[in-house]
Amino acid sequence: MFKKIIAAFTLALTILISSVALGHSSGHGKPPSNEQILAKASQDLAIIVEKSEPVEGKVLGTSWKGATTKAIHNKTFKHYVVSFTHAEEKRTLYILLNSQGTYLGANFNGKFKEL
C-alpha cells in the first residue's frame, strides 16, 4: 500500500514538473506581424531621434520622425531589417530588430554582422 502511494505521488509530481517545463513562455509563440515590426521600428526611430543617439556618427534630425517611406527591407528567421527613406536628405536608415522585435542597431547601408 505504501509503495502505491509513493508511486502515485511520484507520477503526479513528474506530470506536474513536465507540464510546467513544457508550458513555459520562452518566445515560442506566434511571431510578430509585419505591421507590428514596422510599428516597433518606427518607435525605435523616434527614440533614436529623441535621445540624439548617433547613427554612424550622425545625430538624426527631428525630421526623421516623419519618414513615411518605410518597409521591411530584409527578413530572416532571426532578424528583420526595416528601412526608412528620408526624402529631403535622400538617405535610407536601416534598423535591425531580432525576431521578437527587439532593437539591435541602425545604420545607413543595411548590412549588419548579425545577418
* Structure confidence by residue, pLDDT tens digits, 31-73: 899 999 999 999 999 999 999 999 999 999 999 988 879 999 9
* Cα distance between the two ends of the chain: 61
* pTM, two decimal places: 0.74
Q: What is the pLDDT of residue 1?
A: 65
Where exactly are the structural domains of the chain?
Answer: 34-107
Split at pLDDT 50, 70, 90, the class of 2 is low
* Position 104 pLDDT exceeds 70: yes
Pairing of strands 79-86, 91-98: antiparallel
Q: What is the pLDDT of residue 31?
A: 84
Question: Please, are residues 82 and 48 in contact by the beta-carbon 8 Å criterion?
Answer: no
In tens, the pLDDT along 28-41 reads 678 899 999 999 99
